Each structure stands twice: as structure tokens, then as C-alpha cells.
Amino acid sequence: MQAPLKPITNTEKKWALKLPPKRSHEYQHSRGYVRQSLSELWEIPALNIPLNAPPGKSPELIKGWGYISISHCCDALLIGWSPQRIGVDLERVDRMFNPEKLVKRYFSKQEVKELNDLNSEDLRCAALQNWVSKEAAIKWQRKSLATNISKWNFSKDSNLMVHQSLGYKIGLHRVQLDSWYMAVAYDQNIHLHAPLICLN
């Protein structure tokens, strides 16, 4: 997150000017590096990438260019791209929060039951991993966090994320890499064994 900003479009600059300073920097940083990453992938100028990514909205590429998903924390940016719909999320492994409060408010009864016997530190880690998985699924879904966070559950038996109300079943890849937990949600018909992760 301390890396220098990369070029973004004039429209993106105008959107950034309307945001608070910290949020504006995060916005410019993420959009600039999405453009640079896809520019290297496709070998075309970064500003020619057909990206529509206004603040607060899921980033979109025009039809035929695949799907993009973005997540960032205090010191890292995760960019996910796939020919099929994708959702990604990451958090620092050492992020501190009240796991009991989080689980009680946002997790399903089944999840609460599964986590009930864990000690404080194990509960924090498990709750954080589950939260990252849920956020990745919601980004795949392209819907509201508030109305869907308790609906998505990870099935250990099938290794799928399941939406309790809508019946969606999607693939999920979870990994701890250095200081971060990451999750990648994807259409289960892709049969993804493991995503390709590139560090910069």
C-alpha cells in the first residue's frame, strides 16, 4: 500500500477528488494497480483497459474481458482476475477485533455452533478466516455485504460456499500467505485446483 500511485483515467481522478483523503488514496492506488496488472497481462496501455470502477461499486470490465475483484487491507492490495466471475478478499492474519461479537452478529447458527468450543485466539483466527471467505463470496455475488454476510456458509464436506436463502453453491480457495489470509470465490464449474498467485 506504500507503493507509488499509477496512472488512472481523468474520470477516476474526478471520482477520487470527491472522497476523503485516505479513501481517495486507496481508490487511486487500487485502480492504478488494477490497470497496470491487466496492462502487463494483455500487453496494452493501462489507460486503455476497459475498466468501470466508480467508488463503492464492484469493478467491472466490458463483456469479453473477464471479471475483476479487488480487496485491500492496511498494507496490501489483492487483485483477482478470471475469465469467469470471481470474488477475492484478504485480511492481515494478526488483525485484532472482538471475535465473540462478530460471530454473534454476523454468523449463522450452524457456524456459531461449530466455533462455540474454541478458545479466544483460535476463535479469532477461525472467525477471521470465515469472514474473509464470506466477503469473497459476496464479491462474487456482487451484492450487499449487510444483507448477505450471514447467509453465506462454508461447507467443509464439499469445500463450497453455500448461500442459505438463494441456494448458490460456489467454489472457494482459502490460503494463508505470509501475513495475510486470502480467499478466492469462483464458479464451481471452473474446477479450479488452485489460483495462480503472483507477488509484487
Question: Do residues 96 and 156 share a domain?
Answer: yes
Instruction: Report the pLDDT value the prediction gives residue 135, as an integer from 0 to 100.
Output: 95
One pLDDT digit (tens) per residue for the chain, 200 residues = 788 999 999 999 999 999 999 999 999 999 999 999 999 989 999 999 999 999 989 999 999 999 999 999 989 999 999 999 999 999 999 999 999 999 999 998 888 988 988 999 999 999 999 999 999 999 999 988 888 888 999 887 788 899 999 989 999 999 999 899 999 999 877 665 566 777 66
The helix-helix angle for 21-42 and 10-17 (nearest 10°) equals 160
Q: What is the C-alpha to C-alpha distance for residues 142 and 69, in angstroms, rounded to an integer?
A: 10
pTM: 0.90
Which of 89, 104, 90 is CA-nearest to residue 150?
A: 104
Give a yes or no: residue 199 inside a domain.
no
How many domains does the chain contain in total?
2
Find the domain containing 51 and state its range. Answer: 10-65
DSSP 8-state class, residue 5: P
Question: Do residues 98 and 51 share a domain?
Answer: no
Q: What is the C-alpha to C-alpha distance for residues 6 and 13, in angstroms, rounded to an integer?
A: 12
| 122 touches 115 (CB < 8 A) | no
Give a yes or no: residue 2 inside a domain.
no
Instruction: Report the pLDDT value the prediction gives residue 194, as an integer from 0 to 100.
Output: 63
User: Could you tell me the CATH number of the domain that includes residue 136?
Assistant: 3.90.470.20
Cα-based angle 93, 97, 103 (whole degrees, multiple of 5):
100
Instruction: Report the pLDDT value the prediction gives residue 155, as an integer from 0 to 100.
Output: 83
Amino acid at 127: A
Q: Is 182 helix (H, G, I), strand (E, B) or coil?
A: strand
